[in-house]
């Protein structure tokens, strides 16, 4: 299998980047240093991988498509600090992936869109210190949304609860081969262990999910879905200085934390 007769697979979200300037910019954006250990997800033909190997201490790349063995094998012979693993990064247990790294590590990925959210949440719960990822532009807008905007929702609150999200650059569809139907944004998600935490994180997660249940409903009506008496909800809102006719999208992450601690 040579790259000349390689057929791009839609089911694996294969949209490759060949532009050298963009690839270098991604490595700079990811703040890779000669001390950084990198987990790359979906190296494809290895264009970004090559630049990462030149900048980082070590790169471990997880690729699902074994038809990419030829170009990635060649790259492995060229760079002694590269290891390629042919596995599904979503299915591989996090403990297995992390055996590759001594301490923390940076995730870098031009991700297939269909696994954006599960992968981000998988690595938010891991030892990875940052994730530099290419995502659909609309998804980036959701992660970066401020309260009171239409893009503000469950993913916004759940990511910003644990991490800070930085917008890096917009990448037009024409930068990819083949071009997808949407534009992309490169973002960096940096975990922040100093962020305030809810007393019960499981309850916090279900509170956020229930709060955004039906967009047209008020917060109180959505929260009745938690099977908590209305009186208790109203008094908790009052203690948190949240209006009784508020809607979920008006609450900051800190509001959700106080409400969670108040209700539980
Ligand atoms: N990083 C390359 C390729 C991006 S396309 C570049 O920028 O050019 C996305 C890549 O992710 C493809 O190579 C695809 O085969 C791979 N991929 C898709 N799903 C995956 C999964 N679950 N685990 C690992 N790799 C995956």
Domain boundary assignment for the chain: 3-191, 201-263
Q: Answer yes or no: are the C-beta atoms of 52 and 38 closer than 8 Å.
A: yes
> How close is the Cα of 12 to the center of ligand 1, in Å?
6
> How close is the Cα of 46 to the center of ligand 1, in Å?
10
Tell me the pLDDT of the chain (264 aa) as tens digits: 567 789 999 999 999 999 999 999 999 999 999 999 999 999 999 999 999 999 999 999 999 999 999 999 999 999 999 999 999 999 999 999 999 999 999 999 998 888 999 999 999 999 999 999 999 999 999 999 999 999 999 999 999 999 999 999 999 999 999 999 999 999 999 999 999 999 999 999 999 999 999 988 999 999 999 999 999 999 999 999 999 999 999 999 999 999 999 999
Q: Choose among 63, 66, 35: nearest CA to 48.
A: 63
**What is the per-residue pLDDT for 1?**
56
What's the rounded Cα separation, in Å, for the pair 122 and 26?
22
Mutate to test the pocket of ligand 1, among 53, 64, 71 (most ligand atoms within 8 A of CB): 64
Mutate to test the pocket of ligand 1, among 44, 51, 171, 184 (most ligand atoms within 8 A of CB): 44
**What is the per-residue pLDDT for 54?**
98
3-191 placed in CATH 3.40.50.150: yes
CA 207 from chain centre, in angstroms, equals: 21
Q: Choose among 247, 239, 195: nearest CA to 221.
A: 247
**What is the per-residue pLDDT for 111?**
85
**What is the per-residue pLDDT for 113?**
86
**What is the per-residue pLDDT for 114?**
86
**What is the per-residue pLDDT for 118?**
94
Q: Is 81 exposed, middle or buried (0-12, 13-18, 19+ CB in 10 A)?
A: middle
Q: Choose among 192, 173, 174, 198: nearest CA to 184.
A: 173
Residues composing the chain: 264
Cα–Cα–Cα angle for 77, 78, 81, nearest 5°? Answer: 85
How many other CB atoms are found less than 10 A from the CB of residue 177? Answer: 15
Atom of ligand 1 nearest to the CA of 65: 15
Which superfamily does CATH assign the domain made up of 201-263 to? rRNA adenine dimethylase, C-terminal domain (1.10.8.100)
**What is the per-residue pLDDT for 112?**
85
């Amino acid at each position: 299998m040579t790259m000349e007769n390689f057929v791009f697979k839609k089911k694996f979200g294969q949209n490759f980047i060949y532009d050298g300037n963009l690839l270098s910019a991604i490595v700079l954006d990811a703040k890779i240093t000669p001390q950084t250990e990198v987990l790359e997800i979906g190296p494809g033909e290895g264009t970004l991988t090559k630049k990462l190997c030149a900048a980082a201490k070590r790169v471990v790349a997880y690729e699902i498509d074994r038809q990419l063995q030829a170009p990635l094998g060649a790259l492995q012979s060229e760079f002694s600090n590269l290891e390629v693993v042919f596995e599904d990064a979503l299915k591989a247990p996090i403990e297995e992936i992390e055996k590759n790294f001594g301490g923390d590590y940076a995730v870098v990925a031009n991700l297939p869109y269909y696994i954006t959210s599960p992968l981000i949440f998988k690595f938010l719960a891991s030892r990875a210190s940052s994730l530099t990822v290419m995502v659909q532009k609309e998804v980036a807008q959701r992660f970066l949304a401020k309260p009171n905007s239409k893009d503000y929702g469950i993913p916004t609150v759940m990511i910003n609860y644990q991490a800070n999200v930085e917008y890096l650059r917009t990448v037009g569809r024409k930068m990819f081969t083949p071009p997808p139907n949407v534009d992309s944004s490169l973002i960096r998600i940096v975990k922040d262990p100093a962020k305030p935490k809810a007393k019960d994180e499981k309850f916090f997660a279900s509170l956020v999910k229930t709060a955004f249940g039906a967009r047209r409903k008020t917060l109180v009506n959505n929260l009745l879905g938690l099977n908590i008496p209305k009186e208790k909800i109203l008094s908790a809102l009052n203690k948190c200085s949240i209006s009784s006719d508020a809607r979920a999208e008006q609450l900051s992450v800190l509001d959700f934390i106080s409400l969670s601690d108040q209700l539980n």
